[in-house]
Amino acid sequence: MNKDYNVTYPSGTVGLAITPFPLVKVNADYNFGEVKNISVGVGVSIR
């Protein structure tokens, strides 16, 4: 007995990036859909 399911999940990404100090960037992303994911990062840039 085989059962086929055709389910469509809404998905997308919402993100935020801020620069609290001149050389530092902080970012956060939330991915939603069938699998949910949160990512947070900090970056230092020297130019």
pLDDT value, residue 13: 95
pLDDT bracket for residue 25 (50, 70, 90): very high
Of 4-13, 24-33, 35-44, the least confident: 4-13
Q: What long-range pairs does 31-40 form, CB within 8 A, spacing at least 24?
A: 33/9, 34/9
Contact 11, 32 (CB under 8 A): yes
* Rounded distance between C-alpha atoms, residue 29 and residue 9, angstroms: 19
Contact 7, 31 (CB under 8 A): no
Question: Which of 46, 17, 15, 19 lies closest to 32 in space, CA to CA?
Answer: 15
**Which residue's structure tokens are 């902080």?**
26
Asked whether residue 12 carries a pLDDT value surpassing 90, the answer given is yes
